[in-house]
Structure 1
């Protein structure tokens, strides 16, 4: 499996000219994904931390240009990474908004962690799931078909949150506090999973 290093991810981010606020958002999503992976590792030893954090860092890779092109950034971002030789990363990016399937009885997967981590970051801050989903509703729920899709996504994400946190020693409400403590301790300042 071919996975871009953290350095390669940032080179790609620079090349594609992602907006700074989207970069900040992506870094925080990657930090949460790393935190969740490390917490889940004893329950899911097969989790690929490098794959998860690289996909999280690149999940919005085509979002900046999508403001002009109106493209589906999960689709085009996934396709871009697949064409660059990172099909597993591309597959996760493609699913960062809506997962292909939601299965409560399977181990937590890399794509589920990236999908959930993205739902917990509003701009560059870790927020409760409800706050992030309310923002999504307000920002994107302008047409009926989007409202229906958002409602379905909301229910699925709540189930996903339960699936992840039933395996952890913290609650969803403690994630923000835990992340703040980890960042203050320096554990997430550029230390990518290749250092683990």
Structure 2
């Protein structure tokens, strides 16, 4: 059974409707489009290299990764968990898992473990500062300034940076690309309509 036979996804328009329904702020929406462009760029390159990634899941997960962020602003609520919960209630458990792991992965990064869609979205999000694709160094420098206000917080950010660099090595090892090549995505602009199309539903055939 193909992977697409096991997964239910929202269409592109449904993703946009979810953004609207949950009050996603314009800047978060633009950030999400950019993350989707990065994830699609990498996903297509990895697919060409022979990796078994379901690109529509990458695209949907990237587009909706911050679905729960706007309601969590100014609170201590975990926006990844909130967004994942919304998607689970709507019947999209696979997209929910990608969203749940976009801040912190639930598994150790291992070269022996096949690359997962959640890892690709997690990495892509860490390459986008606001609406611009940047290096990991630039992204984490910003995180340290904004959130590393205590020794404990700074240590957590530094540990996340180490994991992000290991993930970067895992993603780019099989590619004829370097992490700096992602900066070319800054030359593109749009709402992701040209990224890996998935404007149909993939349902589990339980009958």
Question: TM-score if structure 2 supplies the norm length?
Answer: 0.87
1:167 deviates by 1.4
Coordinate RMSD, CA, aligned: 1.8
Equivalences for residues 29-108 of structure 1 within 5 A: 29-101=35-107, 102-108=109-115
Q: CA deviation at 1:113?
A: 0.5
Is the contact made by 1:44 and 1:107 (CA closer than 8 Å) also made in structure 2? no
**Residues 34-78 of structure 1: CA deviation (Å, up to 9, x unaligned):** 000000003344201110110100001111111144311011111
Matched, 1:10 2:16: yes
Gaps of 5+ in 2: 1-6, 200-207
Range that drifts further, 29-38 or 135-144: 135-144
Q: Secondary structure at the match of 2:45?
A: helix
Separation in 1 of the partners of 2:37 and 2:173? 20
Instruction: Name the CA distance, whole Å, in 1 between partners of 2:83 and 2:50.
Output: 27
CA deviation after TM superposition for structure 1 residue 151, in Å:
1.3
d(CA) in 2 for partners of 1:34 and 1:106?
Answer: 21
Asked if residue 26 in structure 1 is aligned to residue 32 in structure 2, the reply is yes
**Residue of structure 2 aligned with 1:139, choices 146, 167, 180:** 146
Task: Note closer, same or farther for the CA distance 1:84–1:143 as it changes in structure 2 (3 Å cut).
Answer: farther
Equivalent residue for 1:191? 194
Conserved? CA contact 2:11–2:198, under 8 Å: no
Q: SS where residue 41 of structure 1 aligns?
A: helix
Q: Which structure is richer in relative contact order (CA contacts within 8 A, separation 6 or more)?
A: 2
Alpha-carbon distance in structure 1 between the residues aligned to 2:111 and 2:163: 10
What is the TM-score when the length of structure 1 is the normalising length? 0.91
Instruction: Classify 1:76/1:43 alpha carbon distance in 2 versus 1 (closer, same or farther; 3 Å).
Output: same
The 3 A distance-change label for structure 1 pair 164 and 45 is closer
Equivalent residue pairs, number: 192
Structure 1 unmatched ranges of 5 or more = none
Q: Specify whether residues 44 and 92 from structure 1 end up closer, same or farther in structure 2 by C-alpha distance, changes over 3 A only.
A: farther
Kept in 2, the 8 Å contact 1:6–1:192? The answer is: no
Q: Give the distance between the partners of 2:41 and 2:30, measured in 1 at CA.
A: 17
